[in-house]
Chain A
């Protein structure tokens, strides 16, 4: 079946540090890939997405590139802020399924950014 694996957390960084959160997936074909963010006390928000190989999703300074050859979708940001402290989830929708159906999530990575 489909699965998503994220790097183990939690991750603690100082403000303006470089961030990488690793995400790899197992799925047939060409799934769509997503990063969601959950701020304290809130639901999940879509951060970025990519729907085909070599696509780069970007939003709010975050980027992730769909790498079919390594089945990865690592999240990066060049300079994190305290306000980026949140839980980040990598997720996929299987190839060929309709919009939003059966999102499969990774375990989530807690990011804490200290001033």
Chain B
């Protein structure tokens, strides 16, 4: 069964804290993504990765970084959390075939920065 697992569903962090959001997929997918979801804005791509140790900036990378040390794991890092990063974060993955493959999403992580 397809599975993208995000380690934390709900987090509350203080301004200035370093925050790690972890994502693991069990489908041996090459591609992994981090999106944030905000009301009225839909989903916006933060970073993505096509391979281990590889990363590419998405549309809104400012204030974020990522790490992909193993194929199945893709971490989103907020170096110094701010209140405008309060949001729902969604991890996703897809296979390496020619385009048209399905993207699978995790259940999301609700982050509140106070």
Contacts and interface: CB of A to CB of B under 8 A. Distances in A.
B96 to A, nearest CB: 7
Interface residues of A, number: 26
A42 B106 CA distance: 8
> Chain B interface: which size bin?
20 to 34
A16 to B, nearest CB: 29
Dominant SS at the B interface?
loop
B107 A43 contact: yes
A43 B103 contact: no
Interface string A94-111: 000111111111111000
A32 B97 CA distance: 15
B31 A99 contact: yes
Contact of B99 (A89, A91, A98, A107): A98
Nearest to A1: B59
Interface of A: 4, 32, 36, 41-46, 49, 51, 89, 91, 93, 97-108
9 contacts: A32-B99, A42-B107, A42-B108, A43-B106, A99-B97, A101-B48, A103-B103, A105-B35, A107-B40
Given A98-B99, A101-B99, 20 more contacts: A4-B42, A44-B90, A46-B103, A89-B43, A98-B50, A98-B98, A99-B98, A99-B99, A99-B100, A99-B101, A100-B31, A100-B33, A100-B102, A103-B33, A103-B103, A105-B35, A105-B42, A105-B43, A105-B44, A108-B42
